[in-house]
């Protein structure tokens, strides 16, 4: 069961009452205090504590050197009139809404292709999975800069056909596209999850459909997709949450600027610039909370929409 399935079952099941007797419960409380101690310290000290602190900082002017100065709604007002913020939201939403679905579509397509007893499955799977482990690294971002540079691999290849390509990463029209391609390149992780899910679908369903004369296309849309929908949902939620926070690739490809022309100014990159380059920690905290709210709303919408398309077989 995935973390998301966990939420579903938690919201459904009722508290298990009287399962353990009083003495047992008492002993468990003590033991739990011991086993959970590190986690509780972490939760309070470096998760909840900082969250509260950043909520306060969001309403202050703070440059690390002087004490934070409470400025009321100044930061909120700035949020509403910040052109670069608008730009970075545009970039981030474009990236998230294009890259995530495309990546999942590729992952699903290849998982389906690999599903039914392909010879050499494990080799194919390994090769396709590898990029998803490397994709987050600085080295790959460096590579991408050079693959899509003016004199990069892509243009050297295009030159074979007499085409003179643009400087993909230095052209505001194409820079974001190279990052989207990088995201798609890491489709291996969701693909492996899809593969595991496909294996759970009973073969008999396909056999029955086949004898009734259903085409492969029909089988895909009437059996595979509905039965896989919880896993598509899982990958979608995680993919969206993760890519809203993308940082490294844009940072490296644009050398920290989010350029050219703010065309790769991911939200987290803008937040980093405000907080750790310009030392406007108060405003950066406000940005952080805006990001949290956006991700929260987006995830909630996703859960809401899932009622209409995710099929639970229980």
- Chain positions 250 to 309 lying near another protein, rule: CB under 8 A, are 251-252, 255, 268, 271-272, 275-276, 281, 284-285, 287-289, 291-292, 295, 299
State the nearest-atom distance from the C-beta of 36 to another protein, in Å.
5
Q: State which residue, 128 or 176, has the beta carbon closest to another protein.
A: 128
Options 196, 208, 301, 305; binder of another protein; rule CB under 8 A: 196
Instruction: Enumerate residues 127-146 that contact another protein by CB under 8 A.
Output: 127-131, 133-134, 136-140, 142-146
State the nearest-atom distance from the C-beta of 199 to another protein, in Å.
9
State the nearest-atom distance from the C-beta of 29 to another protein, in Å.
5
Q: Please, what's the b/e burial string for 31-68 (b: 16 or more CB within 10 A of its CB; e: otherwise)?
A: eeeeeeeeeeeeeeeeeeeeeeebeebbbbbbeeeeeb
Helix axes 188-200, 225-244, angle to 10 degrees: 160
Taking alpha carbons only, the member of 284, 246, 281 closest to residue 265 is: 246
Q: Which among 31-39, 86-94, 170-178, 204-212 is the span making contact with another protein, rule CB under 8 A?
A: 31-39
State the nearest-atom distance from the C-beta of 90 to another protein, in Å.
18
Instruction: Enumerate residues 35-64 that contact another protein by CB under 8 A.
Output: 35-39, 41-43, 45-47, 49-51, 53-54, 57, 64
Q: State which residue, 32 or 80, has the beta carbon closest to another protein.
A: 32
Q: Which among 69-77, 111-119, 164-172, 202-210 is the span making contact with another protein, rule CB under 8 A?
A: 111-119
Q: Which among 161-169, 171-179, 190-198, 202-210 is the span making contact with another protein, rule CB under 8 A?
A: 190-198
Residues touching another protein, count (CB under 8 A)? 107
Give the integer Cα–Cα distance in Å for 76 and 289: 11
Options 85, 91, 104, 110; binder of another protein; rule CB under 8 A: 110
DSSP per-residue string spanning 24-51:
HHHHHHHHHHHHHHHHHHHHIIIIIHHH
Q: State which residue, 100 or 291, has the beta carbon closest to another protein.
A: 291
- Round the CA-based radius of gyration of the chain to a whole number and report it: 24
Spatial CB neighbours of 164, under 8 Å, sequence gap ≥ 6:
155, 158
Give the integer Cα–Cα distance in Å for 206 and 199: 12
Does 217 participate in binding another protein (rule CB under 8 A)? no
Please answer whether residues 240 and 299 qualify as being in contact, where contact means their C-beta atoms are separated by less than 8 angstroms. yes
Give the integer Cα–Cα distance in Å for 271 and 277: 9
């Amino acid at each position: 069961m995935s973390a998301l399935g966990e939420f579903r079952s938690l919201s459904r099941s009722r508290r298990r009452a009287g399962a353990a007797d009083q003495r047992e419960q008492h002993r468990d409380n003590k033991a739990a205090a011991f086993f959970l101690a590190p986690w509780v310290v972490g939760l309070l000290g470096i998760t909840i504590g900082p969250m509260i602190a950043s909520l306060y900082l969001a309403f202050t002017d703070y440059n690390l050197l002087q004490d934070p100065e409470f400025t009321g709604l100044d930061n909120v007002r700035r949020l509403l009139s910040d052109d670069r913020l608008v730009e970075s939201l545009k970039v981030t939403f474009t990236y998230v809404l294009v890259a995530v679905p495309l990546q999942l579509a590729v992952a699903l397509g290849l998982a389906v292709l690999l599903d039914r007893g392909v010879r050499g499955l494990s080799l194919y799977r390994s090769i396709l999975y590898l990029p998803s482990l490397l994709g987050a690294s600085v080295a790959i971002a460096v590579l991408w800069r050079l693959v899509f540079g003016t004199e990069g691999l892509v243009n050297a290849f295009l030159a074979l056909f007499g085409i003179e390509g643009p400087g993909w990463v230095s052209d505001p029209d194409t820079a974001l596209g190279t990052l989207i391609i990088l995201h798609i390149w890491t489709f291996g992780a969701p693909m492996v999850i899809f593969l595991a899910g496909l294996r759970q679908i009973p073969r008999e369903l396909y056999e029955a459909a086949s004898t009734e004369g259903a085409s492969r296309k029909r089988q895909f849309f009437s059996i595979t997709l509905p039965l896989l929908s919880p896993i598509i949902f899982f990958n979608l939620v995680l993919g969206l949450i993760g890519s809203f926070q993308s940082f490294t690739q844009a940072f490296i490809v644009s050398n920290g600027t989010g350029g050219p022309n703010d065309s790769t100014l991911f939200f987290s990159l803008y937040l980093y610039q405000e907080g750790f380059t310009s030392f406007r920690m108060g405003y950066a905290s406000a940005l952080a909370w805006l990001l949290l709210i956006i991700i929260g709303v987006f995830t909630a919408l996703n859960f809401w929409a899932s009622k209409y398309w995710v099929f639970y077989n229980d």
